[in-house]
Structure 1
Amino acid sequence: MTDPVFYADRDELSAATAGEQFHLTGPEARHAVTVRRLRAGESLELVDGVGTRVACEFLRGEKDAMTVRVAAVAHEPAPATQFILVQALAKGDRDLQAAESATELGVDRVILWQADRSIVRLKAERAAKTLGKWQSTLTAAAKQSRRAHWPELGDHVNSTGLATLIQSTPETRWFVLHETAEVSWGALRTEELTAARSIGLIVGPEGGISDSECERFTEAGAHTLKLGREVVRASTAGPAALAALCAVTGRWS
């Protein structure tokens, strides 16, 4: 069984030293003590979400505080190629399912997209609550998958804003996943992907990406791409493409 992972603030965790004790307070400590019910001698890990991983032994805890002994401190480098998922809002929490799976697969940034055909609409008065739900989903998935680097939740965009983002980030290779694209995944050259600083995947809603959106995105610099013969759901396309990227860019080597 893998060790449970808990979050610690970057500044606080920077003081962790092998062989020394470390004190953690707040919600994460409370979760470890009252929910996970860790006992003396059990092992755990603390991460700061930006690459630091600290292996620890649980010593004692009470309510919202715990004390651990640091066994080892490691600083994991960020991946050479960053992965971005632009996920259109979808009904039935399929968009959240995609974001959760993408986090488990190593996505580095997630952006909510209000597509023209999105049935779910991001209303101004509920935006903060919706974004909070997405952030909680990413956090839980990052901890579950024991990541030291956690994904960033970017600002939400509409189609105009997404076209502007594509145009303003020429260092990113943007792919619009679309069932009618002429270029399929198998036609991509591995060296082109591994040489990219970042790769962005754009996934539409249940009703698909409109022709006008595809036109705007390709004019801005994106490329349309077909995963395969099968048409997959909005919750599946992004994670499927990310899994393929992990295989060809060395994430899984």
Structure 2
Amino acid sequence: MSLPVQLCPALADARPGAVVRLEGDEAHHAVAVRRTAVGEELRLVDGRGRSATGVVTATGKRVLEVQVGEVVDEPRPGPAVTVVQALPKGDRGELAVEVLTEIGVERIVPWAASRSVAVWRGERAVKSHAKWAATAREAAKQARRAWFPEVTPMAATAEVAGLLAGLDLVVVLHEEARATLAGLEAPDAAGASIGVVVGPEGGLAPEEVAAFEAAGATTVRLGAEVLRTSTAGLAAVAALLARTSRWG
């Protein structure tokens, strides 16, 4: 059974034998919620590839100390996957972020599609983005990830098109597309990049599809079934990663 994971950004100086101190909400969650006790083993990650495993030597209300036994620097997984997720209604956005994080997506871009039912403005935009970021953080810990995904600020269509232009392969999921995802080859080099665009409940607008195709994207369908916006990205990323050495 794998060790429980806690996020600890201050691991730059972690060395075997050293004591790492975890404070604040992360320590509170470990001690008060997970009931972590002195003598238990724990894995700390900084979200940027470094992890340290060790034994808990002290606990407090909002503090936890771990004596490091091993430090590992994991390379960034490749190919890197970016998912542009149109804003869904209700809590389906957090569901999408959760499953995309669990499957290994590197970057999640909230997208204000023209037909999105949900709207992020003002204070709601700040709170919604914070929810997505917190969901990604907790899901990364649950998935035992050393590299945590980035949740970018909300992007408009033009910003998304600019982002997609720099990726090696980009697919736009569209139920009316003639091409299928099964007909594409996924890039498999360590530094390769893949992008997946997931539209809203109301579907993609023609001008959005045109903008993404002009940026080099390929419009594809997954199959005969129409998936929800909260799960379509998961299915597409899984199909693509299954063709790479990441899942080989």
Q: Which residue matches 1:206?
A: 201
- Tell me if the contact between 2:11 and 2:51 (Cα under 8 Å) persists in the aligned partners: no
Q: Which residue matches 1:15?
A: 13
Q: Which residue matches 1:3?
A: 3
User: Which residue, out of 220, 229, 242, partners 1:225?
Assistant: 220
Q: Deviations over 1:134-154 (max 9, x none)?
A: 111111111111110000111
- Number of residue pairs matched by the alignment: 247
Q: Which residue matches 2:232?
A: 237
| TM-score (ref. length: structure 2) | 0.94
- Tell me if the contact between 2:88 and 2:200 (Cα under 8 Å) persists in the aligned partners: yes
Structure-1 separation of matches of 2:168 and 2:185: 16
- Tell me if the contact between 2:93 and 2:132 (Cα under 8 Å) persists in the aligned partners: no
Q: Deviations over 1:20-61 (max 9, x none)?
A: 322222221122122211112211100000001111111221
Structure-2 separation of matches of 1:125 and 1:7: 27
Q: Offset at 1:247?
A: 1.4
Structure-1 separation of matches of 2:39 and 2:241: 35
Structure 2: stretches of 5+ with no match in the other structure: none
Correspondence list, 1:171-182, <5 A:
171-182=167-178
More helix by share: 1
Percent of residue pairs identical: 44
Structure-2 separation of matches of 1:218 and 1:105: 26
Q: Which residue matches 1:79?
A: 77
Q: Which residue matches 1:186?
A: 182
Structure-2 separation of matches of 1:164 and 1:135: 22
| TM-score (ref. length: structure 1) | 0.92
Correspondence list, 1:86-97, <5 A:
86-97=84-95
Q: Which residue matches 1:43?
A: 41
Structure-1 separation of matches of 2:33 and 2:12: 26
SS in 2 for 1:251: helix
SS in 1 for 2:71: strand
Structure 1: stretches of 5+ with no match in the other structure: none
- Tell me if the contact between 2:78 and 2:246 (Cα under 8 Å) persists in the aligned partners: no
- Tell me if the contact between 2:100 and 2:234 (Cα under 8 Å) persists in the aligned partners: yes
Q: Which residue matches 1:153?
A: 151
* Two-structure CA RMSD over aligned residues (Å): 1.5
